[in-house]
Amino acid sequence: MLDQFLARLGIDRFALYLFDYGSQVGLQLALRKPERVAALVIQNGDAYEHTHGPKYELLRRYWATPTPQLRAQLEEAVTEQGLREEVLGEVPADVAERISPDLWQLAWTRMRDPESRAIMVDLFGQIEDSVARFPEYQAYLREHRPPTLIVWGPHDGYMPAEAAHAYLADLPDAELHLLPDAGHWLIKTHLGDLVRLTRDFLVRVHT
């Protein structure tokens, strides 16, 4: 879909912002025609299985043995309370106050529907397919070395600080910024920092 969208707009060179599930989509797009990628901005989007945080444990168990009991535990994340806890995550209380309730309340307006909740849980199961492709993504990064900015919120139960540092093995020239009190949703709490770092990076690599 993204490939068709870019073709329709006549865009053949672009920078990618990789975040969460979207990081897998973006890296798969990059693999198709690496020469189109002018730069990467990576924000809490993982590509190294050995750095997965503790919140991946339930997912790993479900991938290994997708029982109804484990699926029921995954379904708890797709309740209004579960969505709230996912959004607020592990960030300090003063940072959590800067996250608008809209983020989980608007999501819940869709997740109220049982079919939508089932699709979301199915997506949790399909993450295993993306993880299996991590070596492909790493090989792409090693071979093509796109200019890369990494901006990371380390208060993330899925993708801790180690997940950010792991990229440096394949992208030794990448620019890494850990925002000490930020978490997974730093775009909601540290937007000013993110915009400043991204603008400065893109200006430097493309002037």
> Whole-angstrom Cα distance, residue 112 to residue 105?
10
Contacts of 33 (CB under 8 A, 6+ apart): none
Architecture of domain 2-52+133-205: 3-Layer(aba) Sandwich (3.40)
- Residue-level pLDDT at 207: 58
Domain locations in the chain as residue ranges: 2-52+133-205, 54-130
DSSP 49: G
Collect all residues with Cβ–Cβ distance below 8 Å to 160 and sequence separation of at least 6.
51, 53, 154
pLDDT (average), residues 149-171: 97
State yes or no: pLDDT of 16 exceeds 80: yes
Q: Is 150 helix (H, G, I), strand (E, B) or coil?
A: strand
* Position 107 pLDDT exceeds 70: yes
Cα(200)–Cα(204) distance, rounded to whole angstroms?
Answer: 6
Question: Using CA atoms, how far apart are residues 72 and 66, in angstroms rounded to an integer?
Answer: 10
Q: How far is CA 115 from CA 37, 73, 75, 102, 118, in A?
A: 36, 17, 12, 22, 5
Tokens of 16: 């990618």
Task: Find the helix or strand (DSSP H, E) in which 41 lies.
Answer: strand 37-43
**pLDDT class of 89 with cuts at 50, 70, 90:** confident
Instruction: Name, in order, each residue with C-beta under 8 angstroms of 177's C-beta and a sequence gap of 6 or more.
Output: 149, 150, 151, 152, 197
Q: What is the pLDDT of residues 34-56, one digit of tens each?
A: 999 999 999 999 999 999 999 99
Q: Which of 64, 20, 63 is nearest to 163 (CA)?
A: 20
The structure's pTM equals 0.94
